Structures are given as structure tokens and as C-alpha cells.
């Protein structure tokens, strides 16, 4: 079993914001597999179960807030007796990367991302990540919190949809088949 864990915030007011790009990716994957989301109030997450590459995969959208997602991830890893280093993939936004950049890492520091700080505190730093760049020129004009909670432009939304299908979903399949390697992609 594998867990694909998205960083994001619950609630419609955060839907389609830069901080919720991980949720957007999992929504596309769940839709493609006709997998319904089910609320798990004990673990505080919405979970969709799919099969990829012959492996059971839990798609997880934590319903805690972005900066507190580590507890949700830890509860899942403990419940299913999984290893973060081999069984957990986290998909999250990356403020330091230009929009359109996608980076894959096998482990690492939080680089100032509070959600990753929470995950590292509860799981350690050894888990795979797909980092999706969200930076654009607007970032230099407003503070970090306002920027990450802003919505994508129409052009960015269209480009993101294309990248999810052509780059990110194949990377998720590589993770599930244990062939994901550190890499960088640019649309």
C-alpha cells in the first residue's frame, strides 16, 4: 500500500488557491479513477482509494489546516504500519519555485514551508515529495500568506491542468511502482 498525501487547507474558501495545488492534483487523479472521497473524522482526512500499477493507493487530503498536517500523516502511517521513506509521497506547493516548475525529491528539509515542518516533525524528513512551483511576479508585491491563499490566474490554471496530466500523474505512477527519482521539470 502507498499513500499519496496532499498539502492544503479544507473548505471552499481555499479551493483553487495556490496553497491547495496538492488537493487539485489528487482531485484530478481521483476523478480519473472514479474514486469517491470519503471523510474519515477519526484521522481528520478525506480519503479516496484507488489501484495504480497493481498497488492499493490512498489519496489523502488532510482536513487539518496546512501547517498541522503532520499529525494526520503520522496517524495514517501508524494505522497502516507503513514506512514514510518508501510508502509516502507528499504533493505540495513551493513558493520558492517559479510557476510551472515541478521538482521531485526523495527527502529534504522544510525550506521554510510550515506544512513540511509539521510533516518532518511527525514523520522525519525521509519521504518523497513532488514540489509544484507557484511563484509569479505578484509574490513580490504582497506578503507570503496573502500570496499562497490567492487563486491561480486563468492562464496558470490551464497550464496547471496540462501539467497535472502530462507530468505529475506519471510521476505519481512512478512512485507507486518504486521508480520515482529526483528530477526537475519545466513546462
Largest CA distance in the chain: 46
Q: How far apart are CA 87 and CA 79, in angstroms?
A: 13
Reference 100, options 164, 7, 173, 150; nearest CA is: 164
The whole-number average pLDDT for the span 105-124 is 85
Q: How far apart are CA 155 and CA 161, in angstroms?
A: 10
> So where are the chain's domains?
2-186
The whole-number average pLDDT for the span 152-174 is 93
For domain 2-186, give the CATH superfamily.
Peptidyl-tRNA hydrolase (3.40.50.1470)
Residue 93 forms beta bridges with which residues? 132
Is 163 within 8 Å of 24 (Cβ atoms)? Answer: no
Q: How far apart are CA 68 and CA 50, in angstroms?
A: 25
Query: Is the pLDDT at 114 greater than 80, yes or no?
Result: no
Q: How far apart are CA 96 and CA 132, in angstroms?
A: 10
pLDDT digits (tens, 9 = 90+) for 28-48: 999 999 999 999 999 999 999
Per-residue pLDDT, 66: 86
pLDDT digits (tens, 9 = 90+) for 48-96: 999 999 999 999 999 998 889 999 999 999 999 999 999 999 999 999 8
Reference 73, options 4, 168, 148, 174; nearest CA is: 4
pTM to 2 decimal places: 0.94
pLDDT digits (tens, 9 = 90+) for 128-162: 999 999 998 887 888 888 999 999 999 999 999 99
Per-residue pLDDT, 187: 66
Is 130 within 8 Å of 47 (Cβ atoms)? Answer: no
Residue in the structure block whose three cell numbers are 519545466: 186
Active site residue ranges: 19
Q: Which three cell numbers stand for residue 73?
A: 500523516
Amino acid at each position: 500500500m502507498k499513500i499519496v498525501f496532499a498539502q492544503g487547507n479544507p473548505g471552499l474558501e481555499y479551493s483553487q488557491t495556490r496553497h491547495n495545488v496538492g488537493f487539485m492534483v489528487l482531485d484530478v487523479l481521483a476523478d480519473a479513477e472514479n474514486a469517491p472521497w470519503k471523510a474519515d473524522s477519526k484521522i481528520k482526512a478525506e480519503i479516496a482509494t484507488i489501484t495504480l500499477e497493481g498497488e492499493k493507493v490512498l489519496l489523502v487530503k488532510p482536513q487539518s489546516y496546512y501547517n498541522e498536517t503532520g499529525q494526520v500523516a503520522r496517524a495514517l502511517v501508524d494505522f497502516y504500519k507503513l514506512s514514510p521513506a518508501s510508502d509516502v509521497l507528499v504533493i505540495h506547493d513551493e513558493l520558492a519555485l517559479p510557476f510551472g516548475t515541478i521538482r521531485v525529491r526523495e527527502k529534504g528539509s522544510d525550506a521554510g514551508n510550515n506544512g513540511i515542518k509539521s510533516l518532518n516533525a511527525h514523520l522525519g524528513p525521509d519521504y518523497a515529495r513532488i514540489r509544484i512551483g507557484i511563484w509569479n511576479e505578484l509574490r513580490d508585491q504582497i506578503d507570503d500568506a496573502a500570496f499562497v491563499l490567492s487563486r491561480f490566474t486563468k492562464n496558470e490554471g490551464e497550464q496547471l491542468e496540462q501539467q497535472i496530466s502530462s507530468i505529475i500523474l506519471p510521476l505519481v505512477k512512478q512512485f507507486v511502482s518504486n521508480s520515482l527519482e529526483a528530477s526537475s521539470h519545466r513546462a
